[in-house]
Amino acid sequence: MITPRPAAVGLVMLAAAIVPAQPAHADIFKYVDKNGHVYLTDRPNHPGYKLLVKTWKGWTESRGRIDFRRVELNRKRFGPAIRQIAREYQLPDALLHAVIKAESYYDPNAVSRAGAVGLMQLMPGTAQRYGVRDRRDPLANMHGGSRYLRDLLGMFNNNVVLALAAYNAGENAVIQNGYKIPPYSETRTYVKKVLQFYRENRTQVM
């Protein structure tokens, strides 16, 4: 049984503050207009942009389009619940927002190629572990994901970086790699992305 540490909030904030400075790794989006001109940006301003993802073949467009108007609507829609759940599990709501954005862009119906589902992209095993019967239920999904994140912070002494790496790759992968971020490009990119979103969220009113 994983025993969470009681002072999670202060230590999480401290851990994020002492993460070594790293260059920003914003998401990159691509848009091709009717004349064939290609535009790249990290701040898309209309739904015609497509997210670029890095694969072993290089950068490629994601399969689905992200409707950024819907992202903002869902961020506001789930904002009160995120604040309440973050308080219940002693997590900064800015961190919870960052994980949800990185995992699903606030889409409660998101499904990954690996079979993860919902706002916090719960795998079947994780959902079962935390008693989540319907992974598409936004509240149940966030409760399960938040409990898992809280327990990971307890397991890794409130080290945000390792907790995020474990959320993406599993706690055993972090442990087996000597309590370091596993050498998976996806996990390293994921951790940087969430930390970036976390820093941005802390300067905004959520």
Residue recorded with tokens 């606030």: 106
157: left (phi over 0), alpha (psi -120 to 50) or beta: left
Q: CB within 8 A of 73, min separation 6: which ones?
A: none
Residue 39: its H or E element = strand 38-41
Q: Catalytic annotation on 72? A: no
Q: How far apart are CA 144 and CA 102, in angstroms?
A: 17
Angstrom CA distances, 57 to 14, 30, 60, stand at 38, 17, 8
Active-site annotation holder among 88, 103, 171, 186: 103
Q: How far apart are the first and last CA of the chain?
A: 33
Q: How far apart are CA 2 and CA 20, in angstroms?
A: 27
Is the four-CA dihedral 13, 168, 43, 54 of positive or negative sign?
positive
Q: How far apart are CA 121 and CA 132, in angstroms?
A: 12
Tell me the catalytic residues. Answer: 103
